Chain A
Amino acid sequence: MSVPTTAALFRPGTRPVRVRGFSGWLNTRAVLVTLGLLIAAAVVAWWNMVSGSASITAAETLDALLGQADEGTTRVVRQWRAPRVVFTLLGGAALALAGAVFQSQTRNPLGSPDIIGFSTGAYTGALLVAAAGATGMWATPVGAILGGLGTGTLVYLLAWKRGVSGLRIILVGIGVSIFLGSFNTYLVTMLDLEAAMAVATWGAGSVNDITWAHVLPLLAITVICLPVMLGHAQDMRLMEMGDDAAAGLGIRLERVRLVQFTAGILLVAVVTAAAGPIAFIALVAPQLALRLTAAPSVQLLPAAAMGAVLLTISDAVARASAMPVNLPVGVITLILGGAYLVWLLISLGQKKGTSS
């Protein structure tokens, strides 16, 4: 292994690595950022584990996790808190990954799945399943996934015109999202009162009732999608230079797009199925990660770590603000994300104004 010093100039914050058959770049800054974010996420997650309406100390929580506490404590920690904490970590990462992929593919920081209607569509799918009276661990996830994929296909087809442009996807997506939003409201009124009540809290994006049965599908989908997304990450970054430039470098555009879109929609759908539409994590996390890593193109792993941090923090805030009645976490992300969106729109407007 050797490290030529001058080559570090090529990509600030990175160094070339060559070990036997492998050669590549080590982005030291991205690695440090990711590690820092993961530590932050772990700290907040642990705080979420030990705080709550039932007062359980850190030592007791640890005992409960190791199976050495009394039955009541073990139940609270293992059955109530742990799945919720794991879900916010994984779900935040999943939403951020999806956001990173869609922003990269649309070449626009607004191109996130919650803006372009995929979460709304997933919610529609879940509502349709509920309206049809289907139950079981996989009923809602499958409904949400079909809803998300259906919406994705619809947006893609409506936006298709000699290839797809990022801006057209976003505009069509916003339109479809508005339509599906009102359709969702209609579906809720169709449900009986009890189901409608349950759906209403869920519709705000809540992790209050998360159980292991919600975590498992999310874990399964993440384990499948993450390697696939990472495998296409470089192709995706090159596609940010424009379709022609990427095609000239031998990238199979339509295949990469199909794979990344599908993986992104699956992740959003499976989170939405369990927790309802959690707004703005997908929009905000990849952009914050991009700023922190100072990289020119979307970075998947730092974005995922950032998503985990944001959702766990939002959950901590939601729990702290209204204890013992838990606020839906979606309300918190909505407030945080809404502020970010306003800032983003203003700065995008300014950039347009100065560059042209």
Chain B
Amino acid sequence: MTTTATPVTPVEHRLAAENITAGYDQRTVLRELDLHIPEGSFTVIIGPNACGKSTLLRSLARLIRPASGQVLLDGAAITTLPTKQLARTVGLLPQTSVAPEGITVADLVSRGRHPHQSLLKRWGREDEAAVREALEVTGTTELATRAVDELSGGQRQRTWIAMALAQQTPILLLDEPTTYLDIAHQIEVLELCTQLQREGRTLVAVLHDLNQALRYATHVVAMRDGEIIAQGAPETTGTAGLVEDVFGVAARVIQDPETGRPLVIPKASPK
């Protein structure tokens, strides 16, 4: 006897938000939200300003404790995990960080090894190897001895990414990694993200630019007013209807001649 129903293979995931309600002080930003991050994906969260996309990312990173619901890592609530253990699995590139004055690139990157270190094991061979690799992947090896405050914006951002990579986490969260960068450096950072994803990492990023999200993401999560309106592959989420729904912008969607991905073009205002 054979069953006709096709077995539903659930998308594999390690990091998930289940029924979370979160916000700041009295203001609730996210309301009973569910999100499962597909394993091995480059998930990009998009949405208009103040839609809760950063709050969602910050909840996943345990920077915010949800008022209710929980964030799960491999089925365990992240609030129950030791902070260092969590930091060995989930890395974070925060929106703003401060490089201590005069710190060198290599020194900053080596700080990413903190979750792997203990009182007696403060700088082992594996730490050195991880830092070297992180510098290499991000193309910052030549900058290793330079002071971070002397670098250009793009170089600096690559250094911070290198620090997060030195952490050697299978999951990496990036909060607006392209903000304040010019277009060349934005592309550089996003291509680095794609490369990392292809090498087997899971990435979750908040991006402002809808077309960049559609171009680089493997999984798009569209948010509005603290809720997820749609999610899925860029080809299925990048539609005119969705742009109208999420951003309130009338747009045409064409195929990007470079990538074949959807390309959103806002309509000219009728005048």
The answer to whether B104 touches A249 (Cβ under 8 A) is no
The answer to whether B98 touches A242 (Cβ under 8 A) is yes
Q: List B contacts of A243 (CB < 8 A).
A: 63
User: A11-B106, A296-B107 in contact; A234/B63 too (CB < 8 A)?
Assistant: no
A residues 222-263 near B (Cβ < 8 Å) are: 231, 234, 237-238, 240-245, 247-252
Q: List B contacts of A245 (CB < 8 A).
A: 92, 94, 97-98, 163
The answer to whether B106 touches A241 (Cβ under 8 A) is no
- CA distance in complex: A297, B82 (Å): 26
Of the listed residues B84, B100, B115, B145, the one surrounded by the most CB atoms of chain A closer than 10 A to its CB is: B100
Of the listed residues A231, A244, A247, A249, the one surrounded by the most CB atoms of chain B closer than 10 A to its CB is: A249
User: Closest approach, in angstroms, between the C-beta of B138 and any C-beta of chain A?
Assistant: 15
Residue B95 CB within 8 A of the other chain: yes
Residue A10 CB within 8 A of the other chain: yes
Residue B131 CB within 8 A of the other chain: yes
The answer to whether B97 touches A249 (Cβ under 8 A) is no
Residue A4 CB within 8 A of the other chain: yes
The answer to whether A252 touches B83 (Cβ under 8 A) is yes
Stretch at the interface among B2-10, B116-124, B203-211, B259-267: B116-124
The answer to whether A250 touches B107 (Cβ under 8 A) is no
The answer to whether B63 touches A242 (Cβ under 8 A) is no
- CA distance in complex: A101, B248 (Å): 49
The answer to whether B106 touches A251 (Cβ under 8 A) is no
The answer to whether A238 touches B83 (Cβ under 8 A) is no
Interface size on B, residues (CB 8 A): 52
User: Closest approach, in angstroms, between the C-beta of A68 and any C-beta of chain B?
Assistant: 45
The answer to whether B122 touches A25 (Cβ under 8 A) is yes
The answer to whether B102 touches A241 (Cβ under 8 A) is no
Q: List B contacts of A294 (CB < 8 A).
A: 102
The answer to whether B114 touches A234 (Cβ under 8 A) is yes
Q: In the complex, which of the residues B86, B108, B120, B127 contacts A250, with contact meaning CB atoms closer than 8 Å?
A: B86
Residue B80 CB within 8 A of the other chain: no
- CA distance in complex: A251, B114 (Å): 9
User: Closest approach, in angstroms, between the C-beta of A78 and any C-beta of chain B?
Assistant: 39
- CA distance in complex: A7, B123 (Å): 11
A residues 106-131 near B (Cβ < 8 Å) are: 107
Residue A52 CB within 8 A of the other chain: no
- CA distance in complex: A16, B113 (Å): 14
User: A16-B128, A22-B120 in contact; A10/B110 too (CB < 8 A)?
Assistant: yes
The answer to whether A241 touches B122 (Cβ under 8 A) is no
Residue B103 CB within 8 A of the other chain: yes
- CA distance in complex: A329, B86 (Å): 50
Q: List B contacts of A240 (CB < 8 A).
A: 98, 100
Residue B112 CB within 8 A of the other chain: yes
Q: List A contacts of B61 (CB < 8 A).
A: 244, 247-248
- CA distance in complex: A301, B102 (Å): 20
- CA distance in complex: A96, B32 (Å): 49
- CA distance in complex: A10, B143 (Å): 11
Residue B24 CB within 8 A of the other chain: yes
User: Closest approach, in angstroms, between the C-beta of A110 and any C-beta of chain B?
Assistant: 15
Residue B99 CB within 8 A of the other chain: yes
Proximity bits, A28-71, B CB within 8 Å = 1, else 0: 00000000000000000000000000000000000000000000
- CA distance in complex: A242, B100 (Å): 10
Closest to A248 in B: B92
User: Closest approach, in angstroms, between the C-beta of B67 and any C-beta of chain A?
Assistant: 14
The answer to whether A297 touches B103 (Cβ under 8 A) is yes
- CA distance in complex: A107, B98 (Å): 9
User: Closest approach, in angstroms, between the C-beta of A113 and any C-beta of chain B?
Assistant: 21
- New A-B pairs, 16, CB < 8 Å, besides A23-B122, A162-B24: A7-B128, A10-B104, A10-B128, A10-B144, A18-B124, A241-B111, A244-B58, A244-B92, A244-B94, A248-B87, A248-B173, A249-B111, A249-B112, A250-B82, A296-B101, A297-B100
Ordered by A's residue number, 23 sampled pairs between the chains whose C-beta atoms are within 8 Å are A7-B128, A9-B106, A9-B145, A10-B106, A10-B128, A12-B104, A12-B145, A22-B121, A240-B100, A241-B97, A241-B111, A242-B94, A244-B92, A244-B94, A245-B92, A245-B97, A248-B63, A249-B112, A249-B115, A250-B88, A250-B115, A251-B83, A252-B83
Chain B residues with a Cβ under 8 A of chain A: 24-25, 58, 61-63, 82-88, 91-104, 106-108, 110-112, 114-115, 119-125, 127-128, 131, 144-145, 163-164, 167, 173, 175
Instruction: Return the 4 tightest CB-CB contacts between A and B, nearest first.
Output: A250-B87, A248-B92, A244-B94, A24-B122
